[in-house]
Amino acid sequence: MNTRIVSVARGARWLLEGWRLFRVAPAGWLTLVFVYWMAMTAISLVPWIGVIAAMVLIPGFSVGFMAASRSCEQGRAPDLRILFEGFRTRVAVQLGLGAMYVGSLALLLAATALADEGALARWMLEGVRPGDEVLQSDGFLAALAVAAGLYVPVMMLFWFAPLLAAWHAMAAGQALFYSFFACLMNWRAFLGYGAAAAVVTLVIPFLALSALLLVSGGQLKIAAMTLVFPLLLILLPTLFASFYASYRDVFGAQEGG
């Protein structure tokens, strides 16, 4: 398999490509995101195993979103069935990737516990927010740094792996290997993509909401907060489609139905 080296400028354009694909069929995309959101929420509510089960399903669902992106690139609006494409073939591989993803995150949280005695892990797993004193402690800040540092290689392992397993018939280990080194070889492109994503998803919304609150003297606080949900509904499909743009540039377009 040929892996391309993509420029930093091209990586920065992946988000724009995602927006272009979203605009092909916005109603279809919003339907997919809403159904995915509701399904993952419902699964997560199952006692004991719900959250873990939902995380195991993430790679399979990601294939569905990539298939939707490919469909839009070919000029066809995605239907709801495409969301489940990752569970129609090679299901065991996708579930295996999901289990490995959960295991990777468990190891990551275990590493953070060495710095903050498990405060961050309890917050993530049980929803128990640490007290202000803990949040401001050196140990908690160190745990956040550890989590951020360790999540980068985890992300590299799983960025392309579900698609490589689904569309290139790779075994789980092989898909993880190719994904990791494809990201490593294209670190400049991912740096550009990360910068663009940070500006669009964090900086611009923050500045816009802050300006709205400032102009209104804080009177439109509720109105400003209500803008967050529709903004997420637009950003999420754009981000999902941008993942496909990165795959297409690095590995080439994959024909499919």
Tell me the pLDDT tens digit for each residue of 11-27: 999 999 999 999 999 99
Question: How far is it, in rounded angstroms, from Cα 115 to Cα 55?
Answer: 25
Question: How far is it, in rounded angstroms, from Cα 28 to Cα 25?
Answer: 5
- What would the pLDDT profile of 153-207 be if each residue is shown by its tens digit? 999 999 999 999 999 999 999 999 999 999 999 999 999 999 999 998 888 777 7
Residue 2 in domain: no
Domains contained in the chain, number: 1
Q: What confidence score (pLDDT) does residue 144 get? A: 94
Residue 257 in domain: no
Token pair in block for residue 190: 């991912």
| Mean pLDDT of all residues belonging to the chain | 91
Residue 71 has pLDDT above 80, yes or no: yes
Q: What confidence score (pLDDT) does residue 228 get? A: 72
Residue 3 in domain: no
Query: Which residues does 124 contact at the CB level (< 8 Å), separation at least 6?
Result: 109
What pTM was computed for the model?
A: 0.89
Residue 189 in domain: yes
Q: What confidence score (pLDDT) does residue 130 get? A: 86
Residue 1 in domain: no
Residue 224 has pLDDT above 70, yes or no: no
Q: For residue 85, what are the domain limits?
A: 8-251
